[in-house]
């Protein structure tokens, strides 16, 4: 499957891989520019920290970066 047909939310327990998603978001969080991640899975939020819920983020996540300051 590709495109919209390939989407699954964390509610799709048969195909959603919580461990892999937690690992992926943890890798993003290691970068110093990453401030916050928006994703609605409470298990990922608990495991990783700095992951917050946001309406519509059951099947994808967004990464928020720290603002860049001019020197």
- What would the pLDDT profile of 37-69 be if each residue is shown by its tens digit? 999 999 999 999 999 999 999 999 999 999 886
pTM for the structure as a whole: 0.85
Strand partners, 63: 37
Spans of all domains in the chain: 3-65
- As a whole number of angstroms, the distance between CA 49 and CA 36 comes to 9
pLDDT confidence tier of residue 2, bands split at 50, 70 and 90 = confident
């Amino acid at each position: 499957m590709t495109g919209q047909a390939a989407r699954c939310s964390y509610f799709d327990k048969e195909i959603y891989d919580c461990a892999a998603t937690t690992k992926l978001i943890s890798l993003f969080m290691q970068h110093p520019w990453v401030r916050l991640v928006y994703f609605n899975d409470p298990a990922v939020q608990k495991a990783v920290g700095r992951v917050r819920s946001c309406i519509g983020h059951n099947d994808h996540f967004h990464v928020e970066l720290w603002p860049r300051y001019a020197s």
